[in-house]
Protein backbone atom coordinates (compact mmCIF):
# COMPACT_ATOMS: atom_id res chain seq x y z
CA UNK A 1 0.00 0.00 0.00
CA UNK A 2 0.97 3.61 -0.34
CA UNK A 3 3.78 4.78 1.91
CA UNK A 4 2.72 7.50 4.29
CA UNK A 5 4.96 10.15 2.69
CA UNK A 6 4.10 9.55 -0.98
CA UNK A 7 2.29 12.51 -2.50
CA UNK A 8 -0.37 12.77 -5.18
CA UNK A 9 0.65 14.26 -8.53
CA UNK A 10 -1.66 17.10 -9.47
CA UNK A 11 -2.08 18.99 -12.71
CA UNK A 12 -4.74 21.37 -13.96
CA UNK A 13 -7.97 19.47 -13.43
CA UNK A 14 -6.45 16.17 -12.38
CA UNK A 15 -4.92 14.19 -9.57
CA UNK A 16 -2.93 10.93 -9.65
CA UNK A 17 -2.75 9.28 -6.23
CA UNK A 18 0.28 7.31 -4.93
CA UNK A 19 0.24 3.78 -6.37
CA UNK A 20 -1.89 4.90 -9.33
CA UNK A 21 -1.15 5.11 -13.08
CA UNK A 22 -3.18 7.31 -15.42
CA UNK A 23 -3.16 7.66 -19.21
CA UNK A 24 -4.28 11.18 -20.05
CA UNK A 25 -4.93 13.02 -23.29
CA UNK A 26 -4.30 16.61 -22.24
CA UNK A 27 -5.54 19.49 -24.41
CA UNK A 28 -2.85 22.09 -25.18
CA UNK A 29 -4.47 23.87 -28.15
CA UNK A 30 -7.25 23.66 -30.75
CA UNK A 31 -7.26 22.96 -34.48
CA UNK A 32 -8.78 25.16 -37.21
CA UNK A 33 -11.94 23.10 -36.76
CA UNK A 34 -12.04 23.82 -33.07
CA UNK A 35 -11.13 20.27 -32.09
CA UNK A 36 -8.72 19.81 -29.19
CA UNK A 37 -5.00 19.24 -29.83
CA UNK A 38 -4.15 16.80 -27.07
CA UNK A 39 -0.81 15.33 -26.01
CA UNK A 40 -0.61 11.81 -24.59
CA UNK A 41 0.68 11.78 -21.00
CA UNK A 42 1.14 8.77 -18.75
CA UNK A 43 1.67 9.48 -15.07
CA UNK A 44 2.99 6.60 -13.01
CA UNK A 45 2.87 7.56 -9.34
CA UNK A 46 4.78 5.09 -7.16
CA UNK A 47 3.46 3.86 -3.84
CA UNK A 48 6.69 5.05 -2.19
CA UNK A 49 7.94 8.66 -2.08
CA UNK A 50 10.78 9.84 -4.29
CA UNK A 51 11.66 12.28 -7.08
CA UNK A 52 9.30 13.23 -9.89
CA UNK A 53 10.97 12.61 -13.25
CA UNK A 54 9.69 13.66 -16.68
CA UNK A 55 10.55 11.83 -19.89
CA UNK A 56 9.63 13.60 -23.12
CA UNK A 57 10.11 13.04 -26.84
CA UNK A 58 9.13 14.42 -30.25
CA UNK A 59 9.36 18.10 -29.33
CA UNK A 60 10.53 17.94 -32.93
CA UNK A 61 7.67 16.06 -34.57
CA UNK A 62 9.71 13.78 -36.85
CA UNK A 63 12.23 12.60 -34.20
CA UNK A 64 10.82 9.22 -33.31
CA UNK A 65 13.38 7.04 -31.46
CA UNK A 66 12.62 8.67 -28.11
CA UNK A 67 8.88 8.06 -28.49
CA UNK A 68 9.47 4.34 -28.17
CA UNK A 69 11.83 4.80 -25.21
CA UNK A 70 9.19 6.80 -23.32
CA UNK A 71 6.38 4.38 -24.24
CA UNK A 72 8.34 1.30 -23.13
CA UNK A 73 9.26 2.91 -19.81
CA UNK A 74 5.62 3.90 -19.24
CA UNK A 75 3.88 0.74 -20.39
CA UNK A 76 6.30 -2.20 -20.44
CA UNK A 77 8.39 -1.72 -17.33
CA UNK A 78 7.35 -3.06 -13.95
CA UNK A 79 6.91 -0.12 -11.59
CA UNK A 80 5.76 -2.04 -8.50
CA UNK A 81 8.80 -0.78 -6.56
CA UNK A 82 8.75 2.78 -7.93
CA UNK A 83 9.90 5.39 -5.41
CA UNK A 84 8.62 8.63 -6.89
CA UNK A 85 6.66 9.59 -9.99
CA UNK A 86 7.26 9.30 -13.74
CA UNK A 87 5.64 11.84 -16.06
CA UNK A 88 5.87 10.27 -19.53
CA UNK A 89 5.16 12.42 -22.61
CA UNK A 90 6.05 10.47 -25.76
CA UNK A 91 4.82 13.11 -28.23
CA UNK A 92 5.11 16.79 -27.23
CA UNK A 93 4.70 18.32 -30.68
CA UNK A 94 1.47 16.65 -31.79
CA UNK A 95 0.81 18.89 -34.86
CA UNK A 96 4.40 18.30 -36.10
CA UNK A 97 4.13 14.59 -35.39
CA UNK A 98 0.90 14.32 -37.38
CA UNK A 99 2.55 16.11 -40.31
CA UNK A 100 5.84 14.19 -39.76
CA UNK A 101 7.67 17.50 -39.63
CA UNK A 102 10.21 18.93 -37.22
CA UNK A 103 8.37 22.18 -36.52
CA UNK A 104 4.84 23.10 -35.59
CA UNK A 105 3.16 23.47 -39.00
CA UNK A 106 1.59 26.75 -37.84
CA UNK A 107 4.04 29.33 -39.23
CA UNK A 108 6.84 26.71 -38.95
CA UNK A 109 7.44 27.46 -35.29
CA UNK A 110 9.98 25.48 -33.28
CA UNK A 111 8.26 24.18 -30.15
CA UNK A 112 11.74 23.57 -28.73
CA UNK A 113 12.49 27.31 -28.81
CA UNK A 114 9.15 28.26 -27.23
CA UNK A 115 9.58 27.09 -23.62
CA UNK A 116 8.65 27.92 -20.91
CA UNK A 117 5.87 29.44 -22.99
CA UNK A 118 3.40 32.14 -22.11
CA UNK A 119 -0.37 32.42 -21.82
CA UNK A 120 -1.85 34.99 -24.20
CA UNK A 121 1.16 34.76 -26.58
CA UNK A 122 1.70 32.92 -29.91
CA UNK A 123 0.17 29.50 -30.52
CA UNK A 124 3.57 27.82 -29.99
CA UNK A 125 4.14 29.61 -26.67
CA UNK A 126 0.63 28.82 -25.47
CA UNK A 127 1.21 25.12 -26.16
CA UNK A 128 4.63 25.25 -24.48
CA UNK A 129 3.06 27.02 -21.49
CA UNK A 130 0.41 24.31 -21.05
CA UNK A 131 3.07 21.60 -21.16
CA UNK A 132 5.56 23.41 -18.94
CA UNK A 133 3.16 24.57 -16.25
CA UNK A 134 1.35 21.26 -15.82
CA UNK A 135 3.95 18.60 -16.47
CA UNK A 136 7.49 20.09 -16.32
CA UNK A 137 7.39 22.58 -13.45
CA UNK A 138 6.24 19.99 -10.85
CA UNK A 139 9.20 17.68 -11.65
CA UNK A 140 12.60 17.28 -9.97
CA UNK A 141 14.51 16.30 -13.12
CA UNK A 142 13.90 15.52 -16.77
CA UNK A 143 15.08 13.68 -19.87
CA UNK A 144 14.17 15.08 -23.31
CA UNK A 145 14.81 12.72 -26.24
CA UNK A 146 15.79 13.94 -29.70
CA UNK A 147 17.41 12.62 -32.88
CA UNK A 148 19.48 14.29 -35.54
CA UNK A 149 17.72 16.60 -37.97
CA UNK A 150 16.28 14.88 -41.08
CA UNK A 151 19.01 13.87 -43.53
CA UNK A 152 21.69 13.45 -40.85
CA UNK A 153 22.47 10.94 -38.10
CA UNK A 154 23.97 11.19 -34.60
CA UNK A 155 25.79 8.78 -32.35
CA UNK A 156 24.07 8.68 -28.96
CA UNK A 157 25.17 11.62 -26.84
CA UNK A 158 23.88 13.79 -24.04
CA UNK A 159 23.63 17.58 -24.03
CA UNK A 160 23.38 19.61 -20.86
CA UNK A 161 25.05 22.40 -18.94
CA UNK A 162 27.60 20.52 -16.83
CA UNK A 163 28.69 23.77 -15.15
CA UNK A 164 25.45 23.28 -13.16
CA UNK A 165 26.28 20.51 -10.64
CA UNK A 166 22.74 19.11 -10.68
CA UNK A 167 22.68 18.90 -14.49
CA UNK A 168 26.18 17.41 -14.42
CA UNK A 169 25.04 14.66 -12.04
CA UNK A 170 22.10 13.85 -14.32
CA UNK A 171 24.18 13.94 -17.52
CA UNK A 172 26.75 11.56 -16.05
CA UNK A 173 24.05 9.28 -14.65
CA UNK A 174 22.68 8.62 -18.15
CA UNK A 175 25.91 6.72 -18.91
CA UNK A 176 26.67 8.03 -22.41
CA UNK A 177 30.20 8.09 -23.82
CA UNK A 178 29.89 11.70 -24.97
CA UNK A 179 28.44 14.65 -23.08
CA UNK A 180 28.41 17.99 -24.89
CA UNK A 181 28.22 20.75 -22.32
CA UNK A 182 26.51 24.04 -23.08
CA UNK A 183 23.66 26.02 -21.61
CA UNK A 184 21.75 25.54 -24.89
CA UNK A 185 19.70 28.03 -26.91
CA UNK A 186 17.06 29.95 -25.01
CA UNK A 187 13.59 28.47 -25.38
CA UNK A 188 14.81 24.87 -25.43
CA UNK A 189 13.10 22.60 -22.95
CA UNK A 190 16.38 21.51 -21.35
CA UNK A 191 17.66 25.04 -20.79
CA UNK A 192 14.40 26.54 -19.58
CA UNK A 193 13.57 23.60 -17.32
CA UNK A 194 17.10 23.61 -15.87
CA UNK A 195 16.93 27.41 -15.30
CA UNK A 196 13.57 26.91 -13.59
CA UNK A 197 15.18 24.43 -11.17
CA UNK A 198 14.31 21.16 -12.92
CA UNK A 199 17.71 19.79 -14.05
CA UNK A 200 17.16 18.48 -17.57
CA UNK A 201 19.30 16.91 -20.29
CA UNK A 202 18.74 16.30 -23.99
CA UNK A 203 19.55 12.87 -25.37
CA UNK A 204 20.42 12.85 -29.07
CA UNK A 205 20.32 9.51 -30.84
CA UNK A 206 20.11 8.36 -34.44
CA UNK A 207 18.00 9.61 -37.31
CA UNK A 208 14.60 11.24 -37.76
CA UNK A 209 11.70 9.18 -39.19
CA UNK A 210 12.98 5.84 -37.82
CA UNK A 211 12.67 3.43 -34.96
CA UNK A 212 16.30 2.28 -34.53
CA UNK A 213 16.33 -0.58 -32.07
CA UNK A 214 19.97 -0.28 -30.97
CA UNK A 215 19.41 3.36 -30.00
CA UNK A 216 16.09 2.66 -28.30
CA UNK A 217 17.78 -0.07 -26.23
CA UNK A 218 20.65 2.26 -25.27
CA UNK A 219 18.15 4.96 -24.39
CA UNK A 220 16.32 2.52 -22.11
CA UNK A 221 19.63 1.58 -20.43
CA UNK A 222 20.26 5.28 -19.84
CA UNK A 223 16.83 5.76 -18.23
CA UNK A 224 17.47 2.75 -15.97
CA UNK A 225 20.79 4.20 -14.93
CA UNK A 226 19.27 7.62 -14.16
CA UNK A 227 16.43 6.09 -12.13
CA UNK A 228 19.06 4.10 -10.19
CA UNK A 229 21.16 7.22 -9.50
CA UNK A 230 18.19 9.02 -7.96
CA UNK A 231 16.80 6.00 -6.10
CA UNK A 232 13.60 5.85 -8.16
CA UNK A 233 14.18 2.20 -9.12
CA UNK A 234 16.35 0.83 -6.35
CA UNK A 235 17.03 -2.58 -7.89
CA UNK A 236 18.92 -1.15 -10.89
CA UNK A 237 22.55 -0.04 -10.93
CA UNK A 238 24.13 3.10 -12.35
CA UNK A 239 26.08 2.38 -15.55
CA UNK A 240 29.60 3.42 -16.39
CA UNK A 241 29.88 3.64 -20.20
CA UNK A 242 33.46 2.29 -20.37
CA UNK A 243 34.88 5.65 -21.45
CA UNK A 244 33.56 9.16 -21.31
CA UNK A 245 34.41 12.60 -22.61
CA UNK A 246 32.77 15.85 -21.54
CA UNK A 247 33.08 18.43 -24.29
CA UNK A 248 33.15 21.77 -22.51
CA UNK A 249 34.28 25.21 -23.66
CA UNK A 250 37.96 24.23 -23.44
CA UNK A 251 37.58 21.37 -25.93
CA UNK A 252 37.39 21.76 -29.68
CA UNK A 253 34.09 21.11 -31.36
CA UNK A 254 32.94 22.14 -34.81
CA UNK A 255 30.43 21.69 -37.57
CA UNK A 256 32.33 21.05 -40.80
CA UNK A 257 30.48 22.71 -43.67
CA UNK A 258 30.63 22.33 -47.44
CA UNK A 259 32.42 25.07 -49.37
CA UNK A 260 31.16 23.79 -52.73
CA UNK A 261 27.79 22.50 -53.84
CA UNK A 262 27.72 18.90 -55.00
CA UNK A 263 27.31 15.24 -54.18
CA UNK A 264 28.94 13.95 -51.02
CA UNK A 265 30.75 10.68 -50.52
CA UNK A 266 31.13 10.23 -46.74
CA UNK A 267 34.09 8.03 -45.80
CA UNK A 268 33.19 7.50 -42.13
CA UNK A 269 30.13 6.55 -40.09
CA UNK A 270 28.75 8.33 -37.06
CA UNK A 271 30.84 7.55 -34.01
CA UNK A 272 34.09 7.13 -36.00
CA UNK A 273 37.43 8.24 -34.59
CA UNK A 274 39.26 10.39 -37.17
CA UNK A 275 42.75 11.85 -37.06
CA UNK A 276 43.82 15.35 -37.99
CA UNK A 277 44.23 15.53 -41.78
CA UNK A 278 42.09 12.46 -42.55
CA UNK A 279 39.74 12.96 -45.49
CA UNK A 280 36.28 12.75 -43.94
CA UNK A 281 34.33 13.15 -47.17
CA UNK A 282 34.66 14.12 -50.81
CA UNK A 283 32.31 16.46 -52.66
CA UNK A 284 32.14 16.02 -56.44
CA UNK A 285 30.42 17.76 -59.32
CA UNK A 286 27.98 15.85 -61.58
CA UNK A 287 30.75 14.91 -64.07
CA UNK A 288 33.15 13.73 -61.36
CA UNK A 289 35.71 16.03 -62.94
CA UNK A 290 36.05 18.23 -59.89
CA UNK A 291 36.33 17.06 -56.33
CA UNK A 292 36.77 18.78 -53.00
CA UNK A 293 38.19 16.82 -50.06
CA UNK A 294 37.14 17.79 -46.55
CA UNK A 295 39.79 17.05 -43.94
CA UNK A 296 39.57 16.65 -40.19
CA UNK A 297 40.89 19.87 -38.61
CA UNK A 298 41.83 18.02 -35.40
CA UNK A 299 41.75 14.49 -34.01
CA UNK A 300 38.36 13.56 -32.65
CA UNK A 301 35.03 11.85 -32.92
CA UNK A 302 32.34 12.22 -35.58
CA UNK A 303 29.30 12.76 -33.39
CA UNK A 304 26.99 13.44 -36.33
CA UNK A 305 27.27 12.93 -40.09
CA UNK A 306 25.31 13.70 -43.25
CA UNK A 307 23.08 10.91 -44.58
CA UNK A 308 21.39 12.67 -47.49
CA UNK A 309 24.42 13.14 -49.79
CA UNK A 310 23.63 16.50 -51.37
CA UNK A 311 24.91 19.92 -50.30
CA UNK A 312 24.83 23.60 -51.08
CA UNK A 313 27.84 25.63 -49.95
CA UNK A 314 27.40 26.20 -46.23
CA UNK A 315 25.43 23.02 -45.53
CA UNK A 316 26.69 20.97 -42.58
CA UNK A 317 28.65 17.80 -43.40
CA UNK A 318 29.50 16.51 -39.95
CA UNK A 319 29.68 17.44 -36.30
CA UNK A 320 33.06 16.72 -34.75
CA UNK A 321 34.38 16.89 -31.18
CA UNK A 322 37.94 16.65 -29.87
CA UNK A 323 39.10 13.48 -28.13
CA UNK A 324 42.13 13.54 -25.89
CA UNK A 325 44.75 10.79 -26.15
CA UNK A 326 43.79 8.87 -23.01
CA UNK A 327 40.12 8.95 -24.01
CA UNK A 328 41.05 7.66 -27.48
CA UNK A 329 42.89 4.74 -25.93
CA UNK A 330 39.92 3.91 -23.71
CA UNK A 331 37.56 4.13 -26.69
CA UNK A 332 39.69 1.79 -28.79
CA UNK A 333 39.99 -0.72 -25.96
CA UNK A 334 36.24 -0.61 -25.37
CA UNK A 335 35.29 -1.03 -29.02
CA UNK A 336 37.79 -3.85 -29.57
CA UNK A 337 36.31 -5.72 -26.60
CA UNK A 338 32.73 -5.29 -27.75
CA UNK A 339 33.47 -5.83 -31.48
CA UNK A 340 31.54 -2.64 -32.16
CA UNK A 341 33.46 -0.33 -34.51
CA UNK A 342 31.21 2.71 -34.14
CA UNK A 343 29.99 2.32 -30.59
CA UNK A 344 26.27 2.02 -31.41
CA UNK A 345 25.72 -1.06 -29.27
CA UNK A 346 25.00 -0.90 -25.57
CA UNK A 347 28.06 -1.22 -23.32
CA UNK A 348 28.67 -4.73 -21.99
CA UNK A 349 27.21 -5.65 -18.59
CA UNK A 350 30.59 -5.52 -16.81
CA UNK A 351 30.35 -1.74 -17.15
CA UNK A 352 27.70 -1.73 -14.46
CA UNK A 353 29.39 -0.46 -11.34
CA UNK A 354 28.11 0.33 -7.89
CA UNK A 355 27.87 4.11 -7.33
CA UNK A 356 30.87 4.32 -4.95
CA UNK A 357 33.31 3.05 -7.59
CA UNK A 358 32.38 5.51 -10.35
ZN1 LIG B 1 15.31 17.63 -31.94
Under 8 Å between Cβ of 110 and 29: no
Ligand 1 centre to CA of 80 (Å) is 32
User: 257: which residues sit within 8 A by CB, 6+ positions away?
Assistant: 313, 314, 315, 316, 317
Ligand 1 centre to CA of 60 (Å) is 5
Q: 108 pLDDT band (50/70/90 cuts)? A: confident
Ligand 1 centre to CA of 190 (Å) is 11
- How distant is the alpha carbon of residue 44 from its chain centre? 21
Ligand 1 centre to CA of 223 (Å) is 18
**Residue 273 bridge partners (DSSP):** 301
Which residues hold their Cβ within 5 A of ligand 1, which is an ion?
60, 63, 146
- Domains of the chain, first to last: 9-246 (3.40.630.10), 253-338 (2.40.50.100)
Output the pLDDT for position 351: 53
Ligand 1 centre to CA of 52 (Å) is 23
pLDDT tens for each residue of 13-72: 899 999 999 999 999 999 999 999 999 999 999 999 999 999 999 999 999 999 999 999
Long-range contacts of 35-39 (CB under 8 A, 24+ apart): 37/94, 37/95, 37/127, 38/94, 39/89, 39/91, 39/92, 39/94, 39/131
Ligand 1 centre to CA of 63 (Å) is 6
Ligand 1 centre to CA of 111 (Å) is 10
Answer positive or negative: Cα dihedral of 336, 356, 246, 113: positive
Q: What b/e string do you get for 202-213 counting C-beta neighbours within 10 Å, with b at 16 or more?
A: bbbbbbbeeebe
DSSP letter assigned to residue 150 = T
Under 8 Å between Cβ of 169 and 89: no
Ligand 1 centre to CA of 148 (Å) is 6
Q: 235 pLDDT band (50/70/90 cuts)? A: confident
User: 52: which residues sit within 8 A by CB, 6+ positions away?
Assistant: 9, 84, 85, 86, 87, 138, 139, 140
Output the pLDDT for position 344: 75
Ligand 1 centre to CA of 356 (Å) is 34
**pLDDT over 70 at 3, yes or no:** no
Under 8 Å between Cβ of 102 and 149: yes
E strand intervals along the chain: 9-11, 14-16, 21-30, 36-45, 48-57, 83-89, 141-146, 152-160, 178-181, 200-206, 245-247, 253-257, 262-266, 273-274, 279-284, 291-295, 300-306, 310-311, 316-322
- How distant is the alpha carbon of residue 144 from its chain centre? 5
Output the pLDDT for position 5: 85
| Class of residue 235 by CB neighbours under 10 A (exposed 0-12, middle 13-18, buried 19+) | exposed
pLDDT tens for each residue of 283-295: 999 999 999 999 9
Ligand 1 centre to CA of 305 (Å) is 15
Ligand 1 centre to CA of 266 (Å) is 23
| CA-wise closest residue to 22 among 32, 35, 11 | 11
Ligand 1 centre to CA of 115 (Å) is 14
3-state class (DSSP) for residue 154: strand
**pLDDT over 70 at 339, yes or no:** yes
User: 73: which residues sit within 8 A by CB, 6+ positions away?
Assistant: 55, 86, 88, 220, 223
Ligand 1 centre to CA of 203 (Å) is 9
User: 116: which residues sit within 8 A by CB, 6+ positions away?
Assistant: 128, 129, 132, 133, 136, 137, 192, 193, 196
Ligand 1 centre to CA of 149 (Å) is 7
Amino acid sequence: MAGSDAEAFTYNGGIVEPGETQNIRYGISETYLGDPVRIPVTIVNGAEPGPTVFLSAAAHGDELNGIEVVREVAHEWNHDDLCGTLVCMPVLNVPGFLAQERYLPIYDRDLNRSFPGRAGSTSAKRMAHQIFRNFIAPCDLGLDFHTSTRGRTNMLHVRGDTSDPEVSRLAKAFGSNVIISSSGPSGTLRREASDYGVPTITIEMGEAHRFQRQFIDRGLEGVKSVLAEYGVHRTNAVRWPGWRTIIDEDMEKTWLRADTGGLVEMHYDRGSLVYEGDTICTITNPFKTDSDSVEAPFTGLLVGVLENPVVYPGNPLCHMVELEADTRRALKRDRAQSDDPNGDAAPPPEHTLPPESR
